Structure 1
Amino acid sequence: MQAEERQKTIMELLHARQQVMISDLSARFGVSEMTVRRDLMQLEKEGLIRRTHGGAVPTDSSSFEPPFALRARTHADAKRAIAAEVARELRDGQTLVLDGGSTGTAIAEALVGRNLTVCALSMRVAEILASSAATRVMIPGGQIRHGELSIIGPAAARTLADHRFDTYVMTVSGVDTAAGLTEWNVDDAAVKRAALDASASCVLACDSSKFGKIAFARVAALSAVDTVITDAGLTPDQRQAVESDSTTLRIA
């Protein structure tokens, strides 16, 4: 298990238990206690935990949703490959909505300089795309969600409802055959539903670790997506579930 995966698991355990011990983590991961201490030092440096004698506790800002700083370092290679495949999927001149999150920012980086009109649902995505005059960047009204920098609220949903886009490039926290597409934050989920309603087609971009996961707020059924772009980590059953919904599956 790579350091990023261990650190993500540590954050999930902290949410569930409110405390973890170095000795327990060492046994769980099959690594030395020094390796665990390095993981905790990194998480503390990012402000995600507070180390204690023999373990760690979450900071006040921690939540069950893995923080952006940690997600950005997890499955980074897969996200870049997915982003490149999304870029190939889109045609110049299109209008689209682009989600935020770590995968959304990777996609924005792959689209810099493209002749596109993009409604960015994240300040991070907007800043990346605005670096090139070739791309027209829209920002909906609403509130900026602290930490995540996504744009949320009724004003964001109204902006989306007032337009019609060719494609919505959606990212999510969980993909499950029964539960569908889910997000940790209910405000983010509401804006995603509005973006889906405002778009002629939807491309779901997420790495394979999201499959089989269920987050708190439902966005839509898997069948609402036209194309799924992910990495080669899907199980045969997961591939079959995606394709059985008449959804096009592309492996980056």
Structure 2
Amino acid sequence: MNAEQRQQEILAQLADQGEVNVADLSARFGVSEMTARRDIIQLAAAGLLVRTHGGAVSAASRSFEPLFALRSRTNADAKRLIGQAVAREVIDGQTIVLDGGSTGVAIAEALVGRNLTVCALNIRVADILSVDHATRLMIPGGMVRTGESSVIGSDAEASLRRYRFDTYVMTASAVDVGAGLTEWNVEDAAVKRAAKEVSRRTLVAVDSSKFGREAFALICGLDEIDLVVTDSSIATTHKNELSAAGAELLIA
């Protein structure tokens, strides 16, 4: 296991448990404590965790939205596979709305060069898709949310409602059978609801860590979407819950 893989595992453990210990990491990865400590130092320098005596704790409160820099390093391989699976679900010539976030970025990377019309709800996603002439890129009006680079506000919602899209590729902060699909930011959730309303099909792309959790603002219920794409680490209990709720599931 190389340093990048070890550090992703450290971030995944922090997201799940909130803390890590150098001695435990050394034993888990089969490396020296010095190597485990060096991984923690590098992640701390990037602002992705906070060092403690003998280990580290998460840099983000579990009651608030994690920073994009942290999310982009967490479950990166799973998000790449999800991006590729979503790309296979999209047909050339279609018009689609694409969300942002770290999963949205992975999907955008998988769609580069495709013959599509894409309405990007995030500036990072738009930048990725702007490199190839085959993809026609749209950006709705509105304000850009600092840090996340998502397009928000009533102008963005009104812009979306002037069109009818084939597919909306939605990302979400949390998925729960009872709570539905939720987002940390109220304005992001409002734009997502508008995108869903103007799309014939809604596909939700979320990595397995998002299941069984709730964020602050409701986007919609699971009965309002057509397909959920996730990675193979999804728990059997969550698979069964989705099936009972009538949601179609695709494992990347």
Give the structure-2-normalised TM-score: 0.84
| Post-superposition CA distance 1:36-60 (Å, at most 9, x none) | 6434422332245665777779889
Letter in 2 for 1:4: Q
Q: Does 1:221 align with 2:221?
A: yes
Question: What amino acid is aligned across from residue 80 of structure 1 in structure 2?
Answer: R
Alpha-carbon shift at residue 236 of structure 1 (Å): 2.3
* Aligned residue type for 2:73: R
- SS of equivalent residue, structure 1 residue 118: strand
Cross-structure match for 1:143: 143
Aligned residue in 1 for 2:76: 76
| Greater Cα offset, 156-165 or 233-242 | 233-242
* Partner AA of 2:172 in structure 1: V
Q: CA deviation at 1:35?
A: 5.7
What is residue 3 of structure 1 aligned with on the other side? 7
Distance change in 2, residues 1:235/1:170 (3 Å): same
Are residues 1:116 and 2:116 paired?
A: yes
Q: Is the 8 A contact 1:103 1:171 kept in 2?
A: yes
Q: Deviations over 1:124-148 (max 9, x none)?
A: 1101111111111100111111121
Are the counterparts in 1 of residues 11 and 74 from structure 2 also a CA contact under 8 Å? no
Which residue in the other structure is 1:95 paired with?
95
- Report how many residues are paired: 244
Question: Residue 236 of structure 1 corresponds to which residue in structure 2?
Answer: 236
Please state whether the residue corresponding to 1:168 is helix, strand or coil. Answer: strand
CA contact under 8 A between 1:204 and 1:228: conserved in structure 2? yes
TM-fit CA distance, 1:99 = 0.4
Q: Alignment partner of 1:81: what SS?
A: helix
Is this contact kept in 1: 2:165–2:200, CA < 8 A? Answer: yes
Task: Provide the C-alpha distance between the structure 1 equivalents of 2:51 and 2:251, rounded to a whole number of angstroms.
Answer: 40
Post-superposition shift, 1:10?
4.3
Residues 98, 120 of structure 1: 8 Å contact kept? yes
Q: Distance in 1 between matches of 2:207 and 2:56?
A: 29
Distance 2:53 2:88 in 1: 50
Distance across 2 between alignment mates of 1:37 and 1:151: 38
CA RMSD of aligned residues (A): 2.9
**Alignment deviations for residues 163-186 of structure 1 (CA, whole Å, 9 cap, x no partner):** 111110001111101111111122
Instruction: Return closer, same or farther for 1:35/1:133 CA change in 2, 3 Å cut-off.
Output: same
Which residue in 2 is equivalent to 1:178?
178
CA distance in 2, matches of 1:58, 1:236: 27
Amino acid at match of 2:10: R
Equivalents in 2 of 1:66, 1:133: separation in Å?
34
1:186-208 deviation per Cα after TM superposition (whole angstroms, max 9, x unaligned): 22111111111111110011111
Q: Out of 42-51 and 67-76, give the one that drifted further.
A: 42-51
Contact 1:12 1:64 in 2 (8 A): no
Does residue 46 of structure 1 match 2:70? no
In structure 2, list runs of 5 or more residues that go unmatched.
none
> Any gaps of 5 or more consecutive residues in structure 1?
15-19
| Identical-residue share of aligned pairs (%) | 56
SS in 2 for 1:72: helix
Which amino acid is the alignment partner of residue 186 of structure 1? V
Residue 17 of structure 1: aligned partner = none
Deviations 1:52-71 (A, max 9, x none): 777779889x9832221221
SS for the counterpart of 1:201 is strand
Q: Determine the C-alpha separation between the residues in 2 that align with 1:146 and 1:8.
A: 25
- Contact 1:183–1:218 under 8 Å retained in 2: yes
